Amino acid sequence: MKEQTIKCPQCGQVIELNQALSSQISLEIEEKLRLEFNQRFKDEITKREDKIKKEKDEETGTLIKDLREQLIQKSDKLKDAQQKELDFLKRQRELEDREHAFKLEMERKLTEERNKIRSDVLVKLSEEHRMKDAEKEKQINDLRRQIEELNRKAEQGSQQSQGEVMELELENALRQTFRHDNIEPVPKGVKGADVIHHVFSRSGQLCGTILWESKRTKNWSDGWIQKLKDDQREVKAGIAVIVSAVLPKDVSYIGNMEGVWITDFSTAMGLAAVLRTNIIEIAQAQNALIGRNEKKDLLYNYLSSQVFRQRIEAIVESFKAMNDDLESEKRAMYKIWEKRKKQIDRVVQNTSEMHGELEGIMGNALPPVQMLELPLDDIGTNSDEYSI
C-alpha cells in the first residue's frame, strides 16, 4: 500500500498520512479549500463587481461627461441658433421697417407728385379758364359797348320817334275830338310848336288859335315855356299849351306857368275842350259887345268869377273820371297782355335754352335757327369772331 502524503501548503513539506487521517484531513482540507474557494470566489466577485462598478462608473462618468459636453455644445448651438434667429428676425423687422418706410416714402412722394400734378393742372385749367373768361368778357364788353351805342342811337332816334308819335297822337286826338276845327301840324324846319289849333264856332266863324307842343322826355325843362311863348307870338296864337309826359313838381294834371298851360296827355283833351269853349264864348261875347264896352266888364267878371272856375273844374273832373276809367281798362288789358307776353317769353326762352343744350351736344351738326341767333350782322360785327 502506497503511503499517502500531503504537502503542507505553508512550508511545502510532504507528510505521510494514513487513510483515516487522510480522509479526515481530506475533509478538512476540502472544507478549508471550499471556504477558501468561496472566499476567493467572493473576493473575486467583489473585485470584479468593484471593477465592473468602477468601469461602469468610469463609463457612466464618461457618458455623463460626454452627454454634458454634448448638452453644452447643443446649448451653445441652441444659443447660437437662437441668436441667429434673433438676428434674422431683427434683420427681417429692419427689412420690413425699411420696406414700410420705403412704401410710405414712395406713397408720400406719389401723393406729393399727384398733388403737384393736380395743382399744375388746376393752375393750367384756371389760367385757360381765366383766358377764356377774359376773351368772353372782352367779347361781352365789346358787344355791350356796341349794344349801348346802338341803344344810344336808337334812343336818340326813339326819342325823336316818340316825340313824333306823341305829336301825331295829339294831332289825331284833337282832330277826332273837334271835327269842326282846323288842326294843322307845324311843318318840319319851320320855327314853331307842333300843332296849330284854329277854333271855329258852329257857324264857321274863326274864334281863336291854340298852339300845342308835345314833350315826351324823362325830365321837365323850364326853358320850354319861354320857347313856346316865343312861338306863340310868331303864330299869333291866343293860348299856348304844353302836353308833357313829365310835369313840373308843383303841377298835377293841369297847371299854368307864366301864361302857358301845362297838362299831361290824359287830360289834354279835357283842357282843350274847356279852352275851346272859353275861346268861343269870348269870341261870341266880343261880337255881342261890339259897341257896348259895359258888356266887356260883364264878360270879364264872368270869366273871373267863381262860377266859371267851378264850371271848368267840373268839366275837367268829368273828363278826368272818364279818362281814369279808360286808364283802368287799359291797365287791365295791359295786365292780360303782359301775362301772355311773359308766357310767350318763357316758351321762347325754354326753346332757346333747349336749342343751346342740343347745340352743345351736337355741335355744328345741329342746323341753326335764325330767330335764335344773335343779329350780329345788323350791328356791323363779324359773326365768326363773336359767335357764341
Q: Express each pLDDT in 154-212 by its tens digit.
A: 555 444 555 566 778 888 888 888 888 888 887 665 555 778 889 998 888 888 888 88
Tell me which of 143, 177, 211 is where a domain ends: 177
Among candidate residues 207, 182, 184, the one with its CA nearest the CA of residue 194: 184
**pLDDT for the residue numbered 388:** 33
Co-location of 211 and 317 in the same domain: yes
User: Helix (H, G, I), strand (E, B), or coil: what is residue 15?
Assistant: strand
Pairing of strands 195-200, 182-185: antiparallel
Q: Check whether residue 248 and residue 315 sit in a common domain.
A: yes
What is residue 379's predicted lDDT score, i.e. its pLDDT? 43
**Domain co-membership, 184 together with 332:** yes
**Residue 301 covered by a domain:** yes
Q: Give me the domain span that covers residue 130.
A: 91-177
Residue 288 lies in a domain: yes
- pLDDT score recorded for residue 164: 67
Query: Considering 130, 153, 177, which residue would you say is the last residue of a domain?
Result: 177
Same domain, 193 and 324: yes
- The 3-state DSSP class for residue 206 equals strand
Q: Is residue 13 part of a domain?
A: no
Q: What is the count of structural domains for the chain?
A: 2
- Is 97 contained in some domain? yes
114 and 212 within one domain: no
The beta-strand segments (E) located in 69-181 are none
Rounded to whole angstroms, what are the CA distances from 153 to 25, 142, 161, 220?
180, 16, 12, 22
The residue among 322, 343, 229, 221 whose CA lies nearest residue 273 is 322
Check whether residue 196 and residue 111 sit in a common domain: no
Q: Quick check: is 344 in a domain?
A: no
Q: From CA 117, how far away is CA 9, in angstroms rounded? A: 123
Q: Are residues 212 and 308 in the same domain?
A: yes
**Who contacts 364 (Cβ-Cβ below 8 Å, separation ≥6)?**
none
Asked if the structure places residue 331 within a domain, the reply is yes
Residues 108 and 230 in one domain: no
Low-confidence ranges of the chain (pLDDT < 50): 1, 157-159, 377-388
- Please indicate, yes or no, whether residues 161 and 185 belong to a single structural domain of this protein: no
Residue type at 385? E
Return the bridge partners of 200, or none.
Answer: 206
Are both 119 and 230 inside the same structural domain? Answer: no
**What is the edge-to-edge ordering of all strands in the sheet holding 254-257?**
182-185, 195-200, 206-215, 239-244, 260-263, 254-257
Quick one: pLDDT at residue 382?
44
Residues 241, 223 contacting (CB under 8 angstroms): no
**Grid cell for residue 345:** 317769353
Q: Quick one: cell of 237?
A: 296864337
Within this chain, do residues 155 and 299 fall inside the same structural domain, yes or no? Answer: no
- Cell representation of residue 190: 319851320
Indicate the residue among 155, 177, 199 that finishes a domain.
177
Residue 378 forms part of a structural domain: no
Using CB atoms within 10 A of its CB, is residue 203 exposed (0-12), middle (13-18) or buried (19+)? exposed
- Is 134 within the bounds of a domain? yes
Residues 193 and 317 in one domain: yes
pTM above 0.85, yes or no: no
